[in-house]
């Protein structure tokens, strides 16, 4: 059909891509394209495609929203946990955020969570409705029922969406046996909570240690995610950085001893730049080319040969 179009339609200096027919699968689309090319108005083609994309998105982009649900989080008094709680509190799909905290009672548990959020200047910016979602509970992760009353545990499982575990101990001086009760067993008991809530609840584990437990849970049909958070830096609004993180500790040490340490990024000590490194390397290899702005590059592509072997990008037609 492309060959017949080239024989019968006057397109002037315009060129047809190899996939012009499949790229315009209706008579209306193809006729609008050909009319635009005949009149030298490429914008007809672009406009119609963009409009059709919008219609398709509107047609197929409607989904049934999930019922409001709750989230369980550990480590809420910590830096990461405080920001996760803040984010969840503003999510309209979340009705309750259960913060499992080491504390003697409900009052102390709530105080620890609020104090952490206030310290990081994220609490007072939350509307009252969002604050009311936060429920702090004294907890013991080493207990199969997480140290919660039976009624409370059962209530949490009724509409639990996910568990976010941010409380794995980061202490390289601890022996393996010291991790069993509060950490390893804690992960197991949180996964058990997800299972008790049904298939809709998932386990989100913010650690790169102990993740084999999550792998075993996944084989038991529990949805699990291992979140490799890495080094946590200061937030972008209030620039509050946890003094116990690695980089702030190194900075404080440098101030104390009046000396900084030298370190190397073992991931990739040298980054490559497209313009400064790759293009000069291609020239050194014997390739001859001009460096163009994106708009000019597209224009030159349109004016180039439509042969897909000589010019592969033209197959996008």
What's the pLDDT tens digit per position in 266-309?
A: 676 678 888 888 889 989 999 888 888 888 888 887 787 777 66
Is 251:245 a contact under the CB 8 Å cutoff? no
Task: Give the whole-angstrom CA distance, residue 95 versus residue 132.
Answer: 9
Mean pLDDT of 203-228: 88
**pLDDT tens-digit series, residues 26-57:** 777 677 767 666 666 654 544 567 787 888 89
Segment 153-175, tens digit of pLDDT:
999 999 999 999 998 877 767 78
Round to whole Å and give the CA distance between 40 and 35. Answer: 8
Kindly state the percentage of the chain with pLDDT values over 70. 79
pLDDT, position 43:
46
The answer to whether 89 touches 126, Cβ cutoff 8 Å, is: yes
In the predicted structure, residue 316 carries a pLDDT above the cut 60: no
The pLDDT assigned to 77 comes to 94
Q: Mean pLDDT, to the nearest integer, of 127-142?
A: 96
Picking from 106, 54, 118, the residue whose alpha carbon sits closest to that of residue 82 is 118
SS3 90: coil
CATH of 69-230, one of 3.40.1390.40, 3.40.30.10, 3.10.450.50, 3.40.50.720: 3.40.50.720
Query: What pTM, to 2 d.p., does this model score?
Result: 0.62
Q: How many CB atoms lie within 10 A of CB 131?
A: 13
Specify the domain boundaries for CATH 3.40.50.720 within the chain.
69-230
């Amino acid at each position: 059909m492309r060959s017949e179009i080239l024989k019968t339609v006057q397109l002037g200096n315009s060129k047809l891509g190899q996939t012009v027919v499949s790229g315009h699968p209706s008579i209306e689309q193809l006729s609008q394209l050909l009319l635009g090319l005949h009149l030298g108005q490429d914008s007809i083609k672009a406009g119609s495609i963009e409009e059709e994309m919008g219609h398709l998105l509107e047609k197929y982009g409607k989904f049934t929203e999930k019922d409001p649900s709750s989230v369980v989080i550990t480590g809420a008094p910590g830096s990461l946990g405080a920001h996760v709680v803040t984010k969840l509190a503003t999510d309209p799909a979340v009705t309750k955020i259960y913060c499992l905290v080491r504390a003697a009672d409900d009052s102390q548990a709530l105080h620890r969570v609020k104090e952490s959020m206030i310290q990081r200047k994220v609490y007072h910016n939350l509307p009252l409705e969002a604050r009311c979602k936060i429920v702090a509970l004294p907890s013991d992760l080493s207990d199969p029922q997480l140290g919660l009353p039976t009624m409370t545990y059962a209530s949490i499982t009724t509409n639990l969406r996910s568990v976010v575990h941010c409380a794995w101990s980061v202490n390289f001086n601890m022996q393996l046996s010291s991790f069993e009760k509060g950490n390893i067993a804690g992960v197991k008991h949180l996964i058990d909570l997800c299972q008790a809530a049904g298939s809709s609840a998932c386990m989100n584990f913010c650690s790169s240690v102990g993740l084999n437990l999550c792998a075993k849970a996944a084989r038991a049909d529990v949805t699990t995610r291992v979140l490799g958070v890495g080094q946590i830096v200061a937030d972008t609004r209030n620039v509050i950085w946890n003094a116990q993180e690695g980089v702030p500790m190194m900075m404080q040490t440098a101030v104390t001893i009046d000396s900084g340490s030298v370190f190397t990024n073992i991931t990739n000590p040298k980054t490559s730049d497209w313009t400064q490194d790759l293009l000069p390397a291609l020239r050194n290899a014997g390739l001859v080319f001009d460096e163009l702005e994106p708009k000019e590059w597209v224009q030159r592509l349109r004016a180039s040969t439509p042969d897909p072997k000589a010019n592969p990008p033209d197959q996008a037609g």
